[in-house]
Amino acid sequence: MANPEQRTPRDEARKARNELYRQHILEAAEKVFAARGFEAAKVQEVSQLVGLSMGTIYAIFPGKADLLRGIVEERGRSILELAREVAARHAPPREVLNALIDTYIRFFVAHPDFLRMHLRAGSSWVLSPSPEADSRVRLWQEIHELQAGIFRRGVAAGVFVDEDPGYLAKLFSAMDQVVLADWVESGMTASEAQLVERLQRLVERTFCRR
């Protein structure tokens, strides 16, 4: 009797094709949402940009909200993996925080449409997403826990100001968002190194003990 889990070459080819379509659709949707905003954007615009029929898009993503969820989950997994790697380093807390700054800035400079999409939506990096956005809530919580862990170590070591680490993590996220939002608003002319230096100076003045 044939194994129901066994895939034929045709099944594998279809799976690979659909995954390729999925990636192209998400990239196009990210550009459309960044340019138009989620509410104003239409799936037809995504279809035109990616060069795939509406039927193909709806077969993979049943609605516009599914497109948004797919983008956030994919990019979110990437940034979470990067943040985990940095937070796990056995290094002084200030050094780890500086590495996290560099990681975040490099990620968003490399994915400006994802950044612009977030900013157009008016979503805060300090406040948790709405409860119905389960995957985004989990992502937000884990990133803030990683940041709070770095601040907790720094407070215990006497290098960061004596404040609640969770509060410091939120303040750090707010500063990160403001620096990047200002970069977008000013035409994205500053270099990656300039953005890193700017955020590091703000962090130094705000969180580090003299």
Tens-digit pLDDT string for the chain (210 aa) = 445 556 787 666 677 777 889 999 999 999 999 999 999 999 999 999 999 999 999 999 999 999 999 998 899 899 999 999 999 999 999 999 999 999 999 999 999 999 999 888 877 777 766 655 566 778 888 999 999 999 999 999 999 999 999 999 999 999 999 999 999 999 999 999 999 999 999 999 999 998
Residue 1 lies in a domain: no
The pair of structure tokens assigned to 56 is 């193909």
- Contact call for residues 144 and 173 (beta carbons, < 8 A): yes
pTM over 0.75: yes
Pseudo-torsion of CA 78, 66, 43, 112, nearest 10°? -20
Which one, of 149, 117, 151, 130, lies nearest residue 36 by Cα?
117
| Whether residue 125 is found in the same domain as residue 31 | no
Show the domain range for 178: 70-207
| Whether residue 74 is found in the same domain as residue 34 | no
- Give burial (CB, 10 Å; 0-12/13-18/19+) of 121: middle
Residue 13 lies in a domain: yes
